[in-house]
Structure 1
Amino acid sequence: MTTNVTIATLDEQVMPAYRADPAGTPTAAVVVIQEIFGINAGIRRKCDALAEAGYLAIAPDLFWRMQPGIELDPDIEPEMQRALSIMGDFDQDAGIRDIEAAIRYARAATGGGKVGAVGYCLGGRLAYMTAARTDVDASVGYYAVGIDGLLGEKQAIAHPLMLHIAGDDGFVDKETQAAMHAGLDDHPKVTLHDYPGEDHGFATEFGKRRSDAAAIQADERTAAFFAEHLR
């Protein structure tokens, strides 16, 4: 079952979110952190797939403070440019607080069960920040941007974090990828996976960016990771 819900934020406002429930009673939940394109069809499909796997899935609309309901298609160039502009105006610190509110909502909805997070692009970066700044039980980031600038927070990562790195990422250059490995390879809670030759967005559900083989491999690793750490 899927529905649109609202979540009470930490500053006592109301944030919209997409919710997908499994057929049975969930014992764990996953917060799905959007790309720069909002809660579009691809993010909703990510939630639906998690629900099919038995999790309660919640995708908070993190752009709601600017404009609720943003939904963009990266394959349409004007919409891609709008998404890049929105990212520049997005308050990431406020976004993490809103993700924390979603984690609390999800934990309550599962009767105190474990909660994971998975994010893509901007959401991959936010998944890293979520691992460092909240009590989330496990986090996964796909093609996270700008992690080299966040390595100073790595000591705060207390629960498992997995990062999927696109080898030919147009937004994450080789130098940044090397810095991620240098800074995180020896972290006991962090696992990095590289996908040589793959570009940013390879695990999208729909559209031109998807690369089936790499997407399937990454998603299988994510599924095993959550099965280990959230069940």
Structure 2
Amino acid sequence: MPEATVPIELVESPEGSGAAIVLVHEIFGRSQYMRTRARDLAALGYTVALPQLYWRIGADAVDENGDDSLERGVAMMRQVDWQQAVDDVRLVIASLRREPRTGGRVALVGFCFGGGLAYAALQGAADGERADALVSYYGSALPNLVDGEAVTVPSLHHFGDADAYLTSDAVEHICEVVQHNGAEVKLWQGAGHAFDNPAPQFHHAQASDAAWEATVEWLRTHYPA
């Protein structure tokens, strides 16, 4: 694969080809959890790129199980230049579009920080840098984004109804806007923010399993490999 400037970990499908997915990581970076999700997506037949979006600050990942993991993750995220990170995601999209094994097709899947970043990467993107579809899990920046340029590619958004980071009013407004633009929304009962992350302080097993099943089915319908 042609190298984009941003470092990329590429996880290939069993067939060695398939439509691309850029997996945009949460605040903990390219953690083992994100690498597991990359393999999960590749097993479905996709060519998965996991970019190192903290590369400009000389970092890669934080262990989510550490006592100070949340503080360290937030500290790294705050060092990131948002627009440069958006541009890095777009650069990866453009690189994957030129890759024969992807058939020129690229989608975004993002979690938390990455869910908002993926959404922002679609707003105002040039044709060659615009993804074909989006799955966003509890995008943390969405309250500051959804009233901007509409995102009209097929998209799926997941939220927990017990999210302590995104208020219920914020989630309600996000859902109203994205559904108006054609998105599908899933609201998971009893789940908090980052409910898909397997670390004990975040994980909601029932919501995680159900949301992943819904994601797989949505991808098969709206963005088949």
TM-score (norm 2): 0.89
Q: Partner residue of 1:73?
A: 63
1:174-189 superposed matches below 5 A: 174-188=168-182
2:175 equivalent to 1:207: no
Structure 1: stretches of 5+ with no match in the other structure: 9-13
Alignment of 1:45-194 (within 5 A): 45-68=36-59, 70-109=60-99, 110-134=101-125, 135-155=130-150, 157-188=151-182, 190-194=183-187
Aligned-residue CA RMSD (Å):
1.8
Check the 8 A contact 2:22/2:50 in 1, yes or no. Answer: yes
Return 5+ residue gaps in structure 2 as ranges: none
Q: Which amino acid aligns with 1:230?
A: Y
Distance 2:62 2:124 in 1: 28
Question: Shift of the alpha carbon at 1:98?
Answer: 0.6
* Amino acid in the other structure paired with 2:162: D
| One-letter amino acid of the counterpart of residue 150, structure 1 | L
One-letter identity of the residue aligned with 2:98: A
Evaluate the alpha carbon distance shift between residue 63 and residue 127 of structure 1 in structure 2; reply closer, same or farther with a 3 A threshold: same
Higher mean alpha-carbon deviation, 71-80 vs 117-126, is at 71-80
**How many Å separate the matches in 1 of 2:120 and 2:64?**
24
Q: Deviations over 1:193-213 (max 9, x none)?
A: 111210111112x32122222
Q: TM-score, normalised by structure 1?
A: 0.87
SS of match in other structure, 1:15: coil
Higher strand share goes to which structure? 1
1: CA distance, partners of 2:43 / 2:16: 12
Secondary structure at 2:180 match in 1: coil
Counterpart CA distance in 2 for 1:139 and 1:184 is 12
Which letter does structure 1 place at the counterpart of 2:133?
Answer: A
CA drift of 1:154 comes to 4.2
User: CA–CA distance in 1 between the matches of 2:89 and 2:77?
Assistant: 16
Q: Is 1:20 equivalent to 2:11 in the alignment? A: yes
Which residue pairs with 2:219 in the alignment? 226
Please say if residues 137 and 229 of structure 1, whose CA atoms lie closer than 8 Å, have aligned partners that are also in contact.
Answer: no
For 1:184 and 1:51, locate their aligned partners in 2 and report how far apart those are by CA, in whole Å. 27
Could you tell me which amino acid in structure 1 is paired with residue 121 of structure 2?
A: T
**Alpha carbons of 1:25 and 1:186: their partners in 2 closer, same or farther (altered >3 Å)?**
same
Runs of 4+ off more than 6 Å: none
Q: Percent identity?
A: 24
8 Å Cα contact 1:117-1:127 kept in structure 2: yes
| Secondary structure in 2 matching 1:117 | strand
